[in-house]
Amino acid sequence: MKNLKLKSARAAKDLSQEELARRVGVSRQTINAIEKGDYNPTLQLCIAICKELGKTLDELFWEPEP
């Protein structure tokens, strides 16, 4: 499932995928894959992304049950 919340939060901070990736220590392709829903990041990476974007894990990565 695409992570549009992550993409939106990144755009709101005016960060490119490349810049966010550099700040959290991964490749741009990793950020792209997370946003596309093709990669399930580690908890450690999720936390690093949340800190950079000023969001909580729930705000960026929690999907409510249908």
Q: Indicate which CATH number applies to the domain containing 40.
A: 1.10.260.40
Locate 58 and state its tokens. 């729930």
**What pLDDT score was predicted for residue 1?**
82
Residue 46 within any structural domain of the chain: yes
- Contact (Cβ atoms closer than 8 angstroms) between residue 17 and residue 10: yes
Q: How far apart are CA 16 and CA 50, in angstroms?
A: 15
6-43: pLDDT as tens digits: 999 999 999 999 999 999 999 999 999 999 999 999 99
Number of independent structural domains in the chain:
1
Residue 66 within any structural domain of the chain: no
Q: How far apart are CA 14 and CA 63, in angstroms?
A: 24
Residue 31 within any structural domain of the chain: yes
Residue 40 within any structural domain of the chain: yes
Residue 44 within any structural domain of the chain: yes
Residue 23 within any structural domain of the chain: yes
**What pLDDT score was predicted for residue 61?**
93
- Contact (Cβ atoms closer than 8 angstroms) between residue 50 and residue 57: yes
Expressed as residue numbers, the domain containing 53 is: 4-61
User: Is residue 5 scored above 80 in pLDDT?
Assistant: yes
